[in-house]
Amino acid sequence: MVEPQQISLTDGEYLEKRPDKNVILIKPEQMSLTAHQHIQNYLESSLNPAISKEELNAILRLSQHLRVFGLLSAAAYVNQTNAQGGIVRSRILPVWKSLLGQLINSETPPSEEELREMIVQMAKEEPTKYMATWRKSMILSNHWNFWARAYSA
């Protein structure tokens, strides 16, 4: 029997890579707790006691974006500096930056540019880790949605 190899993600979380099956398994046991902590950290940084309707919509949009376009696209959207400003973007950006930043590094979330660069580099140099991180983000997004609703005003 081939022993599973562990691939380090962030925050001491590990994935199991099973060479005999050429798959990576994401351990879901801590996902809800991790998502809860991400929402708590966002609330702390935003200095709000509850998630507003606009913030809740931004979290729901992030879930949809991750499913349809992917992690790389979401990170690129956060880093955009072109003329796509506006009210919708101003409501989405702080939430997406916080949650995606915590996905990559919950202790010290990266800036918008660092986030994009880290994800682009991961996609190019470590595609297996990128795919696992994208999968993790999609799993977390369901829990982000749940906890955002639980803490909404």
Instruction: Write down the domain spans for the chain.
Output: 30-38+51-151
Q: What is the mean pLDDT of the chain?
A: 83
Between 87-104 and 53-68, two packed helices, what is the crossing angle to 10 degrees? 60
Confidence of residue 18 (pLDDT cuts 50, 70, 90): low
Write out pLDDT tens, residues 71-102: 989 888 887 755 555 666 777 889 999 999 99
Give CATH for domain 30-38+51-151: 1.10.520
C-alpha count within 13 angstroms, C-beta hemisphere, residue 44:
7
Spatial strand order in the sheet of 14-18: 5-8, 14-18, 23-26
pLDDT at residue 125 greater than cutoff 90:
yes
pLDDT at residue 2 greater than cutoff 60:
no
| 95-118: average pLDDT | 93
CA–CA distances in Å: residue 113 to residues 3, 26, 109: 38, 27, 11
Query: How far apart (Å, rounded) are the C-alpha atoms in residues 25 and 17?
Result: 6
Helices (H), 22-153: 31-46, 53-68, 71-79, 87-104, 112-125, 127-150
Query: How far apart (Å, rounded) are the C-alpha atoms in residues 80 and 116?
Result: 10
Residue 65: the pLDDT is 93
